């Protein structure tokens, strides 16, 4: 830490007091500030001082790259359906999502002049296709509400001010917090940790919030990369990199538990990606087995019957050609299996592609059906922090009040966004979680400041 006396910072006199300090200018922190200020100003109380401290030179860096810079801000659907996209944490998310819904989020931006469009998949994006427009509105709203946004202010530590402090009006504040940055220290009776998780650390979210929460007594559920590809041991699909297969059933065996998911998969150079894998990644561990069902397992009897009939009729045909005639209806997507994938499944099954249908032994036929309906692939590792879209793990939800986002352990401390042990599926669920938890905390904070 820089020596405060020699740092030469004059304008903040190395000490600032506020009514509310928010650490982190990502979507959860900015929105919390805007909503808190909005509620207070609606009650004609203009005196509250809200400071947002941001480590980076500019706010919202992760927001800018979200959705390939198009910002998949939320998803359509009613909240009941929405809740199923937060793994085991839907119960915790319920009050936040009910109090500020996907529709509320769309209306908020529409009122500020940014319309949203819904894609066929249900994903919602700004109609302009630019995340920059979302961030610009958030920053503009901060300015409109006189929120002080301090960039290049990395918070180094956050602690309770045990013996209280005197605020700028000379009032004695019994309980408060001290956030120390390289340039000075900030005091406030209320503080929000909105520092995000650990993924894409270059955007500024590198796990600092876990440290702050832990120092204040919170338990941190071990963070790990999520919404990330799975790298496969002895990966057989390298030559298929870039090919995406729609609506594949994927099942995951982890110790005694088997989970199943359906969605698109994408073959990459080293492993599997695409929504079906990314959404599963929060559960995947190295050593687990993923089973890909190009054809759903329940259709196996039909598949066998079709195959036997086909070999009776045209047993002289090569197996690849024969399988290329497989009716698309066998696949969940209703689309035919690409020829290159059929050739690869035959190769993995130890069957020469030119072998005639009639020459296939019973043993190889069973292997082929097994692989078409549940090809086992062992996970070598998951994509790391530099490639994962979100973090699983974080501040233990049992220690946070889901109706206010206030810590159950430390009065006046709030936790919002990805720093919490909440991670959603791909499709806009994570940004909605950031906005909804930020808004919920703001409601509780505004009551305290009123
Ligand atoms: C490549 C990519 C694409 C994504 N696309 C989507 C998408 O399309 N839809 C979707 O729903 N989700 C998407 N996500 C996830 C989504 O962006 C995050 O879940 C969301 O940004 C979390 O918001 P947050 O406010 O909690 O944290 P963040 O956005 O991570 O913001 C935290 C802020 O806190 C600051 N900070 C951290 N430590 C300190 C400190 N010590 N002092 C001061 N400031 C600090 C950081 O610099 C950062 O600005 C994507 C993520 C990535 C990486």
Over the chain (450 residues), the average pLDDT of each successive run of 10 is 38 74 98 93 70 97 97 94 92 97 98 97 97 98 95 96 78 87 92 97 97 98 96 96 95 86 94 95 92 96 93 85 91 93 95 88 95 96 96 97 98 98 96 98 93
Q: In this structure, what token pair is assigned to residue 287?
A: 């050593």
- φ/ψ (deg, to 5) at 49: -110, 115
- Between the CA of 7 and the centroid of ligand 1 the distance, in Å, is 30
Residue 6 pLDDT: 37
Q: What is the dihedral of CA 209, 214, 219, 224, to 10 degrees?
A: 40
Helix (H), strand (E) at residue 415: strand 413-415
CATH code, 15-225+389-449: 3.50.50.60
What's the CA gap between 386 and 187, in Å, rounded? 34
Q: Are 195 and 28 in contact (CB under 8 A)?
A: no
- Between the CA of 15 and the centroid of ligand 1 the distance, in Å, is 28
- Between the CA of 194 and the centroid of ligand 1 the distance, in Å, is 9
What's the CA gap between 14 and 180, in Å, rounded? 10
Residue 43 pLDDT: 63
Q: What SS3 state is found at 257?
A: strand
Tell which residue, 212, 65, 86, has the closest CA to residue 130.
65
- The angle subtended at Cα 407 by Cα 404 and Cα 409, nearest 5°, is 140
What's the CA gap between 91 and 304, in Å, rounded? 43
**Cα–Cα distances in Å, from 348 out to 171, 237, 367, 369, 437?**
74, 10, 9, 12, 47
CATH 3.50.50.60 domain range(s) in the chain: 15-225+389-449
Q: Are 272 and 266 in contact (CB under 8 A)?
A: yes
Q: Are 438 and 28 in contact (CB under 8 A)?
A: yes
- Exposure of 123 in the CB half-sphere (CA atoms within 13 A): 17
- Between the CA of 438 and the centroid of ligand 1 the distance, in Å, is 13
**Residue ranges around ligand 1 (CB below 6 Å):** 23-29, 53-56, 61-63, 65-67, 71-72, 154-155, 194-196, 199-200, 204-205, 208, 389-390, 417-418, 428-431, 434
pTM of the model: 0.90
């Amino acid at each position: 830490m820089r020596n405060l006396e020699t740092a030469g910072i004059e304008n903040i006199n190395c000490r600032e007091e506020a009514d509310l300090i928010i650490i982190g200018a990502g979507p959860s922190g900015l929105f919390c500030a805007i909503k808190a200020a909005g509620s207070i100003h609606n009650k004609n109380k203009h005196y509250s001082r809200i400071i947002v401290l941001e480590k980076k030179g500019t706010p919202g860096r992760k927001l800018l790259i979200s959705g390939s810079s198009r910002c998949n801000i939320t998803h359509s659907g009613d909240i009941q359906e929405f809740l199923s996209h937060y793994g085991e944490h839907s119960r915790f998310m319920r009050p936040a999502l009910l109090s500020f819904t996907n529709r509320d989020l769309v209306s908020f931006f529409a009122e500020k002049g940014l319309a949203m469009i819904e894609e066929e998949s249900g994903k919602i994006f700004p109609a302009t296709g630019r995340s920059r427009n979302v961030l610009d509105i958030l920053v503009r709203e901060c300015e409109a509400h006189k929120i002080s946004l301090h960039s290049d202010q990395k918070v180094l530590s956050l602690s309770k001010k045990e013996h209280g402090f005197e605020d700028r009006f000379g009032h004695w504040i019994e309980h408060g917090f001290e956030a120390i940055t390289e340039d000075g220290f900030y005091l406030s009776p209320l503080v929000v940790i909105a520092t995000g998780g650990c993924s894409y650390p270059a955007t500024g979210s590198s796990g600092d919030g876990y440290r702050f929460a832990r120092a204040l007594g919170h338990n941190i559920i071990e963070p790990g990369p999520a919404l990330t590809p799975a790298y496969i041991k002895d990966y057989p699909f390298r030559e298929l990199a870039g090919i995406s297969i729609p609506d594949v059933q994927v099942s995951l065996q982890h110790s005694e538990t088997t989970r199943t998911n359906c969605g698109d998969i994408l073959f990459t150079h080293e492993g599997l990606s695409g929504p079906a894998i990314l959404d599963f990644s929060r559960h995947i561990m190295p050593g687990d087995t993923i089973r890909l069902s190009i054809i759903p397992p329940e259709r196996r009897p039909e598949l066998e019957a079709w195959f036997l009939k086909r070999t009776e009729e045209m047993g002289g045909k090569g197996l690849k050609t024969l399988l290329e005639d497989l009716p698309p209806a066998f696949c969940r997507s209703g689309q035919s299996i690409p020829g290159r994938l059929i050739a690869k499944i035959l190769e993995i099954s130890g069957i020469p592609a030119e072998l005639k249908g009639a020459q296939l032994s019973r043993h190889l036929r069973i292997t082929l059906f097994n692989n078409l309906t549940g090809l086992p692939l062992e996970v070598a590792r998951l994509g790391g922090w530099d490639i994962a879209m979100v973090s699983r793990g974080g501040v233990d939800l049992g220690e946070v009040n889901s109706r206010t986002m206030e810590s159950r352990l430390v009065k006046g401390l709030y936790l919002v966004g990805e720093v919490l042990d909440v991670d959603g599926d791909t499709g806009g669920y994570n940004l909605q979680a950031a906005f909804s938890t930020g808004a919920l905390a703001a409601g509780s904070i505004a009551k305290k400041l009123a």
